[in-house]
Amino acid sequence: MGRFLKHLKNTKASVIILKLMNKRAAFIISLAAVLAYWGYVIAVTARTVPELPATLTEILLSIVKIKLIVIAAVIILLKLEGDKFDQLGFRKNGLLKQVMFGIGFGFATWILINIVINPLLASVNPSPKPASDILAFMRDPGNLIWWIPVVTLAAFAEELQRIFVLTRFEKWFGKYGLYTAILITSVIFGIGHLYQGTNLAIGTGIGGFLNALVFLRKRSAWEVIICHAVFNILSVVGALFFRAK
């Protein structure tokens, strides 16, 4: 009996050690993935602004492919850490309220960025129009049926990625890790939009910062995803207005 209890005790200890090792390995893998992505954006995108594909179909397929990869990566990393989507703020309770707040924040951030911040940046720092203008592909009303679901998917993937990074850094490094993640993810988000020009990239980075605050307000993933989706849809619809300009 004594040997059995000793064996059982050793087995439990082994299980605990394996769990700790698995968590440590998951932490290292997740951190490496985040840092590798940041490094790629800074080293490649910031130095050589990528050109847009030549056709609308290529642009849409490229966006969908990249965003699906992001979603899959977050799901895999989340499972490695043994966490669930509920822990990222995907709550069913009060869903209607989350949706309404998300819509309201979406309109508010769109007005702030596009009516206030972007024109202010343009007046302070006049810059030439980028060679690759994605708005040119949004000025045909017939393309709305394609753009709206794609930019909604993009909003979901980008906010899922942001929430994952914010919650991981807070989990690993505490409140200062969270503050660091807010700052870096906002900068990276802006750099990723340099193809739209420097001023719009800065405005997008500010938008990313605001989205982080929207999430942290109630830790609601739905709120910030809907906020971002509304922002994107308003931007696509707004491009129709500028068609005549």
Mean pLDDT per block of 10 residues along the chain (245 residues) reads 47 48 80 93 75 85 95 92 87 94 97 94 82 75 92 97 96 95 96 87 96 96 98 92 58
Q: Which two tokens stand for residue 226?
A: 């809907």
Cα dist. 36→31, 85, 146, 212 in Å?
Answer: 8, 23, 31, 21
Nearest to 209 by CA among 233, 229, 177, 185: 185
pLDDT the model gives residue 243: 53
pLDDT the model gives residue 109: 97
pLDDT the model gives residue 5: 42
Single pTM value for the model? 0.87
Query: Residues 6 or more apart from 87 whose CB is under 8 A from it?
Result: 167
Estimate to the nearest angstrom the gap between the alpha carbon of 215 and the chain centroid. 11
Q: In whole angstroms, what is the distance from residue 66 CA to residue 233 CA? A: 19
pLDDT the model gives residue 130: 67
Q: In whole angstroms, what is the distance from residue 201 CA to residue 113 CA? A: 11
Q: In whole angstroms, what is the distance from residue 74 CA to residue 213 CA? A: 21
pLDDT the model gives residue 4: 42
pLDDT the model gives residue 3: 53
pLDDT the model gives residue 20: 46
Question: Which 3 state secondary structure label does DSSP give 52?
Answer: coil
pLDDT the model gives residue 81: 85
